[in-house]
A and B are shown apart, each in its own frame.
Chain A
Amino acid sequence: MKTEILMPSLSPTMEEGSLAKWYVSPGDKVKPGDIIADIETDKALMEYESIEEGTIVELIVKEGTENIKVNSLIAIIETEGAEEINIRKVDDIKKIEPVSIDNNEQVLSEEGNLDNVDKNFEDNKMLNNETIENQVVNELTVREAINSAIAEEMRLDNDVFLMGEEVGEYQGAYKVSQGLLEEFGSERVIDTPITEHGFTGLAVGAAFTGIRPIVEFMTFNFAMQALDQIINSAAKTNYMSGGQINCPIVFRGPNGAAARVAAQHSQDFASLYASIPGLKVIQPFSAEDAKGLLKSAIRENNPVIFLENEILYGKSFPVNIASEQIIPIGKAKTISTGQDVTIISYGIGMVHTLEADMKLKELGISAEIIDLRTIRPIDFDTIIQSVKKTNRCVTVEESFPVCSVGSYIGSQIMIRAFDYLDAPVLNCTGKDVPMPYAENLEKAALITPDEIVFSVKQVLYKD
C-alpha cells in the first residue's frame, strides 16, 4: 500500500522547516532506520530516518524547498500491505494546515499578529526618538539580532568572550551562537561541560579581573543550579568590596515557557532576578531591542540578566539600528499611544498584548502600550506619565502571579499616582501552578489575549 511520508517535527517549537537534501530517489528501497532526508530548521540540521520498509514512489517536495509546514506531505512510499490509502494531491500541500505541537499556536500561527507588531514599529519610530536618518532597515530574526550583537561586541573588544554549553562546535543549542566559533576561535567561544554552578562561578571570577564574559545558559531553568554564584557572588561583590571589584558579565539564554516541556522547563524568572540589588534585568521582545540592549548589556560594568525567549528566536522584525548603536538599559518603549488604558508588558507578553490590542481596537478601546524591555531598573517615569493620562492600567506577563513584576508595578502606581487612578491596576499573569504538560492544560496555564481584553474591560467598567 502507499503510505505518506510527512514533514516531521524535530523540536517542541518547530512549525516548519526546509528539506535540505534527499538521500533517496523514486524506486529506491528503504528499510526502517535508513536516512532518507536532511531536514533543516532555523535551529538545527537533522537527519530524517524512514520508519517504513518499502520502495520510494514519489518525492513530493523538491530538495531545497523551504518553509514546509510540519505534517505536510513530502514523499510517498510503497509498503507491503493490503489496503490502498488516499494520497493527498501535490496541489494540496500548500493548503495543509500545520498540526501545531505548540500551544502558542493561537499566537504564532496568526501572521497578522506579527504584522501588527511591524506596523506598530513603523508607526512609532518617532515616538521613542530612536530613529536615525538614512538608516537601512533590515529584517532580522531575534536569533540573528542576538548573534550579531555578540559578534559586533566581540569584534570591538578582545576582552569579550562567550561561554556555555554547546555554544561552539554545536553552533548553539538554539543556534544563537552560529558562526561565532569560526570567527573568534575556541579561546573566545568556549564550550563548557554541563556544569552550570561551576562555569557560572568561573565566569564570575574571570569578570572580577576585568574581562567580560557572556555566559549562555541553555535555558534559564538550568541557571537555578547557579543561583548562588549569580546572586551571592556576581550581584553583591561590588557592594561588599566598597566598589573595588565589579563584575562585568552577561548571563543570557532562553527563559519562560517554550511549548509542551512542562513544569521544570517553563517559567519566567524576571521577577526573581529583578528583586536582587546589584543585578540589571532585561527581557526584550523585538529583534531591534534584543540587539541594542544586548550590546548595552555587554558594555555594562555590572552583571546583567538577559532573558530571551525560544518562541521569539525565529520571529522577524525590522531592525532599525546601525552596528555601533545601542539601546540604553532602563528605558521602556511606548509601542502605541492611546487614551483609555495603559497596558504594560515585556518579552513574549507583548505578543499577547499586541493581539489583545487588535481586539480592543475593534471594541473602540484606545490602549497605550508600553514595552518595559528592562525589568530592573523599571522605567517608572514612562509608566507614571502614561497612567496619569489614561488613569487605568493593566499589566501583562507570563510569569507566576505571586510577587510578579506586575504586582510591584501596581503597588508603585498606587504610591506614585493614586489620585490619578480611576480603577484598580489589574495584573494578567500565568496561572499560579507549575506548568502542566497536557496541551489543553498548558494553554489554560498561560495568559491569553482574551484575558487581557477582559481585564481591560474590567478597568474600564465595561461589560
Chain B
Amino acid sequence: MNKTVMSKKELLELYHKMLLIRRFEEKAGQLYGMGHIGGFCHLYIGQEAVVVGIDAIKEKGDQNITSYRDHGHMLACGMDPKMVMAELTGRFTGYSKGKGGSMHMFSKSEGFYGGHGIVGAQVPIGAGIAFANKYKKNSRVCFTYFGEGAANQGQVYEAFNMASLWKLPVVFVIENNQYAMGTSMVRASSTEEMFARGLAFNIPGKAVNGMNVLDVAKEAAHAADHCRAGEGPFILEMKTYRYRGHSMSDPAKYRTREEVQKVREEKDPIDMLRSILIEKHKISEKQFKATDAEIKAIVTEASDFALNSPEPDIEELWTDVYAG
C-alpha cells in the first residue's frame, strides 16, 4: 500500500481537516470562556497533523482510541462537528446525549472508542480492541493514542507486553507534545526516546516529525502495514507541540511565551502544508480564503446547532446506566 504520495486533491483534504480542527478548537475555547462548555476541556491546537496524517492512511473499519484530548481525533475520523460541539456543551444532541462531555465521546460507527479520562487507561483498552480484531480475523488495526506523560503509566507496559506476545494489530501512537500537564518530559522521563519504550518488548518504534502531516502519513502507513502483515504492534512517537495550556484552566507558566511563539512561527503544521500547496500545487490566496470561509461556516453551524439544542431531559439521568 502506498498512500503517501498524495494528489493535490488529497492534500487539500488534509489541509481542510487540519484547519477545521484548529478553528473548531478555537471556537470551543471561546465557548468555554463564555461558560457554555464546563468542566475540563483539553484543546488539540498545534497537534493537528498527527491525527489528520494517520486518518489519511486508515482503512475502512480501522479503529482509534485516545485520551481526554480527543476533539481532533473525532473530527479527523469523520464524526459530525455539530454533534461533537453539542456534546461539549452538554446537549442531548451530542454524541453521548450530553452525558459524556469533552473527555468521553464515542462513535462506534466511525470506529472511535473514546475519549478516556484516566491517563493511560485507553492503552490496554486499545490493545483489547486489537485483540478483538485478531479474534475476529478481520485484519483491522487499532490506532491507540496516548501522550508522553501517559507513557510513564505501568499499564502501558502491561499492554505492550501482551500486544507483542500475542502479535496484536495495534499501532501505539505516542503524541509527545513535550509537557505532561505542567511537567516537561525531561523532568519526568528517564529517557527522551519515547519511540524506544517498546524495545524491551520487542516492539519496533520510530520517531516522527508530528508537525509534518506527510511524514506522519508515511510512517503511519508503514506501521499499519506491519500490523496487517501479522507482525504485531508498532510504536510511533509523534514529536508535536500543543499551543494552548494542558486544559482551559492551565495558565502554562511552565514554559515561556517565546517558546510557544517560536514553534508557531517555525513549525506550525497547517502553515507547513499551506506552503507545500502554494509551492507545488499553486493554490492561490483566493482558494485558501474560500476554504477559510467554508470552515468558518462549518464551525459556526456546529456552535449554533449546539447552543440551540436542548439539554438532556431530566429522565435521561436514569437511562444508559445498563445496556438492555
Contact = CB atoms under 8 A, between A and B. Distances in A.
A241 B323 contact: no
Interface in B63-97: 63, 65, 94-97
A241 B125 CA distance: 15
A211 interface: yes
B155 A206 contact: no
B22 interface: no
Interface of B: prevailing SS: mixed
A203 interface: yes
B108 interface: yes
Contacts of B94: 242
Contacts of A278: 321-322
Contact of B125 (A193, A202, A210): A202
Interface stretch (A231-239, A283-291, A348-356): A231-239
A247 B128 CA distance: 12
B132 interface: yes
Contacts, number: 147
Given A195-B161, A241-B100, A242-B95, A209 B125 contact: no
Interface residues of A, number: 41
B320 A242 contact: yes
Contact of A208 (B96, B123, B125): B125
Nearest to A232: B118
A64 interface: no
Contact of B124 (A198, A207, A232, A302): A198
B128 A202 contact: yes
A244 B108 contact: yes
A407 interface: no
B131 A239 contact: no
A211 B99 CA distance: 25
A241 B83 CA distance: 13
Contacts of A205: 65, 113, 124-132
A247 to B, nearest CB: 8
A232 B104 CA distance: 11
Given A232-B117, A233-B121, A237-B114, 13 more contacts: A161-B135, A204-B124, A205-B113, A205-B125, A205-B130, A205-B132, A228-B118, A238-B320, A239-B321, A242-B94, A242-B100, A245-B113, A248-B323
B276 interface: no
Contacts of B132: 205-206, 209-211
B35 interface: no
A195 B97 contact: no
Contacts of B293: none
A198 B106 contact: no
Given A206-B129, A302-B322, A232 B135 contact: no
A200 B124 contact: yes
Interface of A: 161, 187, 192-193, 195, 197-211, 228-229, 232-233, 237-248, 277-278, 280, 301-302
Contacts of B154: 197
A277 B161 CA distance: 32
Contacts of A240: 96, 99-100, 104, 106, 114-115
A208 B320 contact: no
Contacts of B114: 237, 240-241, 245
B124 A229 contact: yes
13 contacts: A193-B165, A198-B155, A198-B158, A199-B162, A205-B126, A205-B127, A206-B132, A207-B128, A209-B63, A229-B125, A240-B96, A240-B99, A301-B323
Nearest to A280: B322
A302 B323 CA distance: 6
Contacts of B321: 238-239, 277-278
A278 B123 CA distance: 22
A242 B323 CA distance: 10
B42 to A, nearest CB: 16
A198 B161 CA distance: 9
Contacts of B129: 205-206, 208-209
A301 B324 contact: yes
Most central of B154, B155, B161 by chain A CB within 10 Å = B155
Nearest to A202: B128
Interface in B127-156: 127-133, 135-136, 154-155
Nearest to B106: A241
Interface in B265-324: 319-324
A436 B162 CA distance: 36
Contacts of A203: 128
Contacts of A209: 63, 129, 132-133, 136
A197 B160 CA distance: 12
Most central of A208, A232, A280, A302 by chain B CB within 10 Å = A208
Contacts of B105: 241
Closest 7 CB pairs of A and B: A205-B128, A198-B158, A201-B124, A246-B323, A205-B125, A242-B97, A202-B128
Nearest to A195: B158
A227 B130 CA distance: 22
A242 B159 CA distance: 27
A201 B121 contact: yes
A409 B199 CA distance: 53
Contacts of B123: 201
Contacts of B117: 232
